[in-house]
A and B are shown apart, each in its own frame.
Chain A
């Protein structure tokens, strides 16, 4: 069985750079992999959250790009597009990695995004980015999982990648790259 799973929309989402396979996570999308040479990446994280989980022993990981916190605003949409919402996408991220051999007690969880488009935070009436992060923290706490690290809020768009060989999560913001 191939350990790589590409779940989500039908857009072209897999490219090769040398021996590295890049799996691109679109908006409202999820990718998981158990191949050490793979890199999972998502672009243009604004108020959306990019959530990565990684098991360093099994070298299995995944990334969710969720747009909204709670599927209760449209339960039908939650069923049709579970990766759109944090509350429906997060369980799938974990469960799909379990299927590839990940163990919950070893998983390293990191998150980025949750920004606002408003220069003044008080003008952000809907606070989607903040709501996404609060929903994520609530679900992790309920399921006895802590975040290893996070970079959320602010006004800038982020690109996030997860390298399956090392578990490194890289963040690109305003042209600068740093490890999360």
Chain B
């Protein structure tokens, strides 16, 4: 089931503002769509979380030290 267009747009915009790759937004949208379809078991949520986590990039601060 599609998400509210405003919600989907806000996710893409927030991900972009956070300097994260588009994949993060795509994976979050996929997760929300799954929840919207009523498929929110603990295992499924854990898998979606894993996917999102994998896509998130952490800025390496050691180079700046």
Q: Do these two chains really belong together in a complex? A: no
Q: A-contacting residues of B (Cβ < 8 Å)?
A: none
Residues of A at under 8 Å CB distance from B?
Answer: none
